[in-house]
Chain A
């Protein structure tokens, strides 16, 4: 699964730690998601979508669709 987390975070000048704090996860988890080493759970993906006020499919996409 691919995602635009790094781009969206950079647009807002947030650090990984800032985003981690807002999502109540560790900074390492944010880093792993950004690098595609870990796919977040559905609840966490929805939390990300709510935080960026965007539809979930605009942030996360299947690797073959991206």
Chain B
């Protein structure tokens, strides 16, 4: 019986394909998000119809990205899947706590300007760190 360095070829092929799909879908969502953010001011002078079309496109590409994310998760093997699901649970908790604390800072007079999008940074970093730590804990030789 022969395998390759990382285990199953089928599994690796599956994960690679779903990763590429996820990358493309995420790129599409980021692009349409940029169009919604900058388009009204730079390209169509706040025309409400154009803005509405851009928002609908942004929501559609967001939904497509979510489906790609789900399929990517389902393409993983069970340890990878469990690691990512646990990381998502940790991320959800951390995001909720940070959001409440961050949201209270402006009314408390500690911050002059709070932006909800800043929370995305915390969410992203937490998820990446959680995946790495959980994976290392289980797979260290």
Contact = CB atoms under 8 A, between A and B. Distances in A.
Interface stretch (B7-15, B19-27, B114-122): B7-15
Contacts of B9: 21
B47 to A, nearest CB: 50
Interface size class of B (residues with CB under 8 A): 20 to 34
A20 B78 contact: no
A61 interface: no
Contacts of A15: 3
A16 to B, nearest CB: 8
A20 B7 contact: yes
A60 B30 CA distance: 47
Interface residues of A, number: 25
A1 to B, nearest CB: 14
A28 B79 contact: yes
B11 A24 contact: yes
A44 B79 CA distance: 11
Given A17-B7, A18-B2, A19-B3, A25 B138 contact: no
Given A18-B1, A32-B138, A37-B137, A24 B8 contact: yes
Given A17-B7, A31-B139, A32-B139, A26 B2 contact: no
A41 B78 contact: yes
B16 to A, nearest CB: 13
A26 B1 contact: no
A32 B80 CA distance: 11
10 contacts: A15-B3, A19-B1, A20-B7, A21-B3, A24-B77, A25-B77, A28-B79, A29-B79, A32-B79, A38-B82
